[in-house]
Structure 1
């Protein structure tokens, strides 16, 4: 956003299944959003972060997820809601060459801040990227968390079932990333 006095654009929201290709779809949405919002310098860190957030849902939660991208005056927020109540675990001991187990370490390295909050039907894991610098590793403790803004696409039952009724476990819907 070239001028800071403009009202922020409405959040971009996508619902994704936990299948192979979900991370790519999320990266595409983030890239398009950064270009549309005139933030091309955030594409690299934001796509890496969203890719790791979505891959964690595919690998661990295995539920339908809602990806939400929103803009505040100084930060880009990337949020992924899923149907698992299991909190994310930061594993700092993962070897640099390891193919797995480094997702949250990468999110921590490329975000300004990150965290999660549980809700009645799962959790939301979020990360922010500072608009001005987008410098990896420049962390801060978030003083104000992004507000949870449920909408029609954020139905608890839909995150736990194939048919949206909430009475069938979603399970694995395809190859994991």
Structure 2
């Protein structure tokens, strides 16, 4: 992919930020504290003036939060999870790497049973399938990566800065 310069530390986390590329990679703690950090990184990446991306940042933040929360809640261990954000001319691609090799249930195959309206959870993968232009998962050397893509938003639908 892209060569990454030396990492830097931001808020106690290691951030790999390629200077000549529109990609970010950050190790996140395997705790709920990772969710707001992931949302902030996606928001910051999509606002990057050097690489203007026209993907909807609110949707990107929501779907990123769902992926990170799923990785924290549904994978064992205390090792870090990793967030990777790629800005593309056609939108953005976000991946969350976790140590569990098991595929996420229902991401690429819709559940036939609708979520229980009285439960607080069970809608994350449904949101990812419904709001992303594509999504999926792939094995990695240390577990799996779960990803989604958002297409660029037409200029007239962008949020004002």
Q: Do both share a fold (TM > 0.5)?
A: yes
Within the candidate set 95, 99, 104, 1:88 is matched to 104
Partner of 1:33: 45
Question: What does 1:31-70 correspond to in 2, within 5 Å?
Answer: 31-36=43-48, 37-39=51-53, 42-62=56-76, 63-70=79-86
Once the two structures are superposed, residues 92-114 of structure 1 have per-residue CA deviations (whole angstroms, 9 ceiling, x without a partner) of 52134531111110111111000
1:19 equivalenced with 2:40 (yes/no): no
| Secondary structure of 2:89 counterpart | coil
Tell me, yes or no, if the aligned pair for 2:26 and 2:82 is still in contact at 8 Å: yes
In angstroms, what is the RMSD of aligned CA positions? 2.1
Point out where structure 2 has 5 or more consecutive residues left out of the alignment.
1-19, 155-161
Structure 1 unpaired stretches of 5+ = 1-7, 134-177
Q: Tell me which stretches of 4 or more aligned residues in structure 1 moved more than 2 Å.
A: 37-41, 95-98
Query: How many residues get paired?
Result: 127
More strand by share: 2
- Structure of greater relative contact order (alpha carbons < 8 Å, 6+ residues apart): 1
CA contact (8 A) 2:99 2:143 kept: yes
SS of the equivalent of 2:56 reads helix
| Further displaced range: 71-80 or 25-34 | 71-80
Q: What is the TM-score of this pair, normalised by structure 1?
A: 0.65
Cα distance, 1:117 vs structure 2 = 0.6
Distance 1:23 1:56 in 2: 10
Partner of 1:26, secondary structure, is helix
Distance (Å, rounded) in 2 between the aligned partners of 1:25 and 1:110: 21
